Chain A
């Protein structure tokens, strides 16, 4: 399988207008500087990449590369300084039914049952109905939480909590999913298991996904394209097409091509580190 390597700046020309409708997320020349007490910190510098409709894009890089910042900007949760960030053809903003966000922590409300946690977005969107309840129940079955409707989040393991969190983001059927290291706090086996299910959900429902992770293997396994970022300040180093077959199953992880891609991305990041005269961990 040939691996096409495109430079991020190479894809933002020509067919722009035609592509606008076909783009789930479009980040162009994005710069973001945080004003902290110790002075300004440049989190993201002139970064560009796209997520096409129905595409799974992973944003990978070490901590401090601004990947979570980009995700929060796309979710409309924090402002940015320069560039444009379009989500579903509109400027990024919060409170959209076509965008769903998932964090590293499950963020379930401990005073609500699992089912009521899943129904939380429906309540806020004003979509409470018996059908919504039925769908939430169905989704809990789909994500492997059959019979846990009336349990409280603290009665669930970390992996199960993140499953409930996944059901909550899927319940209102957003076309675009923004995921910030959703499984990184889990043990490796649980994480791989959930990644397989996430791949399945992506393949079944065709949702566009922007997935932030610091795990290169995870990025390669899940994504159609991997956006590689370097830290301090965050900048896009490269965009890598994975071209791995779908549906993805665990044996994709064992394939030579996967290893080759992972090594390639790792080399890019380390070469960059070495060029800066600093040895990475």
Chain B
């Protein structure tokens, strides 16, 4: 379940504005039954098989605890203060890292998209960094910024920087030629053209990048916590697994997917409000 959030998102590929319909659009197209009923049926089926495998001893219950045990562990966990403290730390790292990464990507992406010298100088470097597995930088950031929250924020920011950057540049490229001509025929200044045409035109592409980035930011924060941290959900997962409290470990992973879904949902909600014309 924990991997659900990151599935099918290849960080090396720019995300197009038409990356996919939103949840609501899917609902409208296919109807409530096919959108919600079928995935629920398959999920219940998987959980039942899992439960059966674990409870009947076909797999070791200590290594693969049954879903009911995980649920029980989850219910216990959410009553603990240390769990909420860890959650708060990880959410902070994710959101601040996301914000910093997006801001940086937006600024550099705009410079690359608007000024040709910037593009020539930096875009090839961006492409090279794009192929580098950025999680490999986590130990470096640990050395630079220590065991505290900073190294996690930097990791989250770094990992979500590139998909946003690529989409900012892509968004700037998709501006309608005629619309540009129209603005110029009115004698619009560069700034007016950017504010009234280029920026809004590129928002759908930018939001496609943001939706990828928010899930990547969470991955970045957790990976950085694995590498070296004193607090956070990544630390909890590691600790529980070392103590062979696998059910508790899974419970934290379940909590992480819920957080991922909430963050993604917020981004998608903002998209539907801000880029309301998307798809038309």
Which A residues contact B (CB, under 8 angstroms)? 72, 75-77, 94-96, 99-101, 103, 105, 107, 109-111, 120-121, 123-125, 152, 154
Contacts and interface: CB of A to CB of B under 8 A. Distances in A.
B200 A121 contact: no
**B contact face: mostly helix, strand, loop, or mixed:** helix
Contacts of B176: 105, 107
The 10 closest A-B pairs by CB, nearest first: A95-B187, A154-B280, A110-B277, A124-B186, A107-B178, A101-B185, A103-B178, A124-B188, A94-B184, A121-B186
Interface of B: 176, 178-179, 181-188, 192, 196-197, 200, 276-277, 280
B185 A75 contact: yes
Contacts of A76: 185
Given A110-B280, A154-B280, A94 B187 contact: yes
Contacts of A94: 184-185, 187
Given A107-B179, A124-B186, A125-B186, 19 more contacts: A72-B181, A75-B181, A75-B185, A77-B185, A95-B184, A95-B187, A95-B188, A99-B185, A103-B181, A107-B176, A107-B178, A109-B200, A110-B277, A111-B276, A121-B186, A123-B196, A124-B183, A124-B187, A124-B188
A57 B276 CA distance: 41
B25 to A, nearest CB: 15
B133 to A, nearest CB: 36
Contacts of B182: 101, 103, 107
B197 A109 contact: yes
A183 to B, nearest CB: 15
Contact of A124 (B192, B276, B280): B192
Nearest to A123: B196
**Most chain A C-beta atoms within 10 Å of own C-beta, residue among B184, B187, B200:** B187
Contacts of A77: 181, 184-185
**A contact face: mostly helix, strand, loop, or mixed:** loop
27 contacts: A75-B185, A77-B181, A77-B184, A77-B185, A94-B184, A94-B185, A94-B187, A95-B186, A95-B188, A96-B187, A99-B185, A100-B185, A101-B181, A101-B182, A105-B178, A107-B176, A107-B179, A109-B179, A109-B196, A109-B197, A111-B276, A120-B196, A124-B188, A125-B187, A152-B277, A154-B277, A154-B280
A40 B14 CA distance: 34
B203 to A, nearest CB: 8
Nearest to A104: B178
Nearest to B188: A124
A95 B185 contact: yes
A87 to B, nearest CB: 12
Nearest to A96: B187
A100 B200 CA distance: 24
A278 to B, nearest CB: 31
A107 B179 CA distance: 6
A242 B178 CA distance: 31
Nearest to A107: B178
A280 B178 CA distance: 29
A99 B182 CA distance: 12
Contacts of A105: 176, 178
Contacts of A75: 181, 185
A109 B197 CA distance: 8
Nearest to B280: A154
Nearest to B183: A124
Given A105-B178, A152-B277, A111 B200 contact: yes
Contacts of B280: 110, 152, 154
A152 B200 CA distance: 15
A251 to B, nearest CB: 34
A123 B186 CA distance: 10
Contacts of A99: 185
A210 to B, nearest CB: 14
Contacts of B179: 107, 109
**Most chain A C-beta atoms within 10 Å of own C-beta, residue among B184, B185, B187, B277:** B185
A125 B184 CA distance: 12
**Most chain A C-beta atoms within 10 Å of own C-beta, residue among B178, B186, B188, B200:** B186
Contacts of A121: 186
Contacts of B188: 95, 124
A75 B197 CA distance: 19
A71 to B, nearest CB: 11
B192 to A, nearest CB: 6
Nearest to B184: A94
A94 B186 CA distance: 7
A109 B183 CA distance: 11
A121 B197 CA distance: 12
A77 B183 CA distance: 10
A125 B277 CA distance: 26
A76 B186 CA distance: 11
Contacts of B184: 77, 94-95
A30 B29 CA distance: 54
Contacts of A123: 196
Contacts of B185: 75-77, 94-95, 99-101
